[in-house]
Structures are given as C-alpha cells and as structure tokens.
Amino acid sequence: MRLQGRTAVVTGANRGIGRATVERFLAEGARVLAVDLDVHEIGHLPVHRLAVDLASDDGPSRVAAEARALGPVHCLVNNAGIGAARSLADSDDALIDRVLGTNLRAVLRLTRDMLPLLDPDASIVNVGSAFGETGYPTSTAYAVTKAGISQLTRQLVADLSPRGVRINAVAPGVIRTAMTAARIDGDEAYRKAMVGGTPLARIGTPEQVAAVIVFLCTDEAAFVNGQIIAVDGGWLAARTHA
C-alpha cells in the first residue's frame, strides 16, 4: 500500500496498459480517476470514471475539473494513445491530424491544465514507445508522436523539477493489448522484427508495464527523474534481428 491516501489520474484507462495501471494503483491504496473514451470495461472497479475524448476542445479541461474535486493530484499518467501502422506516403491529412491530436496535442493540453492541481511532490509518467526511440518502418506519424512524448518528458523536467514534481516516461516494446493483438498475430514481418527481435524472445504484458509506471509514482523512486525507461525485453538495447 505504497500510495495509500494519494490520488492518481490515468488516461486511456479502459483497457490494456491503462487498465493494468489502474488496477495496480488500486492495489497500492491510491484513489484513481480513470479517463477514457469509454469506461464501460472498468465499471466494476472502485474508481472515479470519466468518459471523454481527450482530443476534443474541452476534453482536457473536463478531466481537470473532475480531478479538482478529488483534491491534490499525486500521480498523472498520460497513457491514452492510438496506433497507426502507416508510412508517411500512406498517411493522409486526417490520419496525421488524428494521431498527433490524440498522442501528443492532447497530452500537452491535459498536462498544462493539470499543473495547478499537482501536489508539490507529484509524479508525471508519460507512456511513449520503443518506436519513439528508434526508427521502424511504416509507423511514421505514430513514432513521431512518441518521440515527442520523450522530449516532452525532458522538457517538463527542466520546467517542473524546481517545484518538486518528477517526470519520467516508459517506452514499451511489443506488449499484447487489444490495440496490438491484430498486428502481432496478423503481420508476420512485424512479429519477426518485434517478437523474434526481442532478446527475451517473448511478448510483454500490460501488467509488466504498469508495475514500472506505478513504481515511478512511489517514494521509492523519489530520485528518479527525467528517465525514458524501456519496458521492451531488451529490444532497443540488443535486437537479435536486423
């Protein structure tokens, strides 16, 4: 119960990494505001829920208003995002706008709106991607947004650390979620590069990513700041296939 009495806000909370993170926060005693387009699948969990499109004009301000009623926010997890397995040549304006709007613009706006609500010792954890740390074919818009998440993390360290707020990010590799399952199972080239290329030779789970996210919000990580932590089975460090 390392987070007893603390409040966490988690976006993209309905499934996958977000849902696993919500469950881990609850296990550690935190009070959770779970945010997603649809919060139906976490309806049984003892959390505060808000169904909202973070990419909409009023989405971030609605989250901030809901969080304000819960008191100071100790943990903000920017997890909401969408995938886009497209090369730049195959990315039309609508796709680019949708991916940038959800994966990066919404994170900037939500974090800004949450700043007045953060506890002096708060922790922000941004969910990036291994694709934001290296090049990979046919993921241009997505990869650019996740690279932006990494740079946002570093920039927020410069801006917010004097207040006592810590900011870190996780960069998941191949993790089986509802969003990634079709590509893992249906794209042989992707599976070979990601699963076959992971030194641990297996697919990660949302729970394994959630464990790192929640650790970064605990006092045990009180001197961890500005890090982009890969949760990827070693894929970035030593890919076993070119």
Specify the range with the lowest mean pLDDT, choosing from 28-37, 57-66, 136-145, 147-156: 136-145
Q: Which residue has the higher pLDDT, 55 or 86?
A: 55
Residue 38 has pLDDT above 70, yes or no: yes
- At residue 110, what is the residue type? L
What is the pLDDT, as a whole number, of residue 241? 64
Q: Is residue 41 part of a domain?
A: yes
Determine the Cα–Cα distance for residues 46 and 69; give it in Å rounded to an integer.
17
Range with lowest mean pLDDT among 54-58, 64-68, 178-182: 178-182
For residue range 160-200, what is the model confidence (pLDDT) as tens digits?
Answer: 999 999 999 999 999 999 888 888 998 888 888 888 999 99
Residue of 25, 142, 215, 235 with catalytic role:
142
- Total number of domains in the chain: 1
What is the mean predicted confidence (pLDDT) over 65-73? 97
- Calculate mean pLDDT across residues 84-91: 92
Asked whether residue 159 is domain-assigned, the answer is yes
Where residue 158 sits, what CATH number does that domain have? 3.40.50.720
Average pLDDT over residues 150-155: 98
| 97 domain residue, yes or no | yes
How confident is the model over 23-48, as a mean pLDDT?
97
Q: Using the predicted structure, report yes or no on whether residue 142 has a pLDDT greater than 70.
A: yes
Total-model pTM: 0.96
Within a domain: 183: no
Residue 129: inside a domain, yes or no? yes
Mean pLDDT of the chain: 96
Please report whether residue 197 resides in a domain.
Answer: no
Check if 136 is active-site. Answer: no
Instruction: Return the pLDDT at 242.
Output: 46
Which residue has better confidence, 5 or 190? Answer: 5
- Residue 150, pLDDT > 50, answer yes
Please indicate, yes or no, if residue 185 is contained in any of the structural domains.
no
- pLDDT at residue 94 tops 60: yes
Structural domain that includes position 104: 7-175+206-231
pLDDT tens digit sequence for 98-111: 999 999 999 999 99
Residue 187 lies in a domain: no
So what's the pLDDT on residue 73?
A: 98
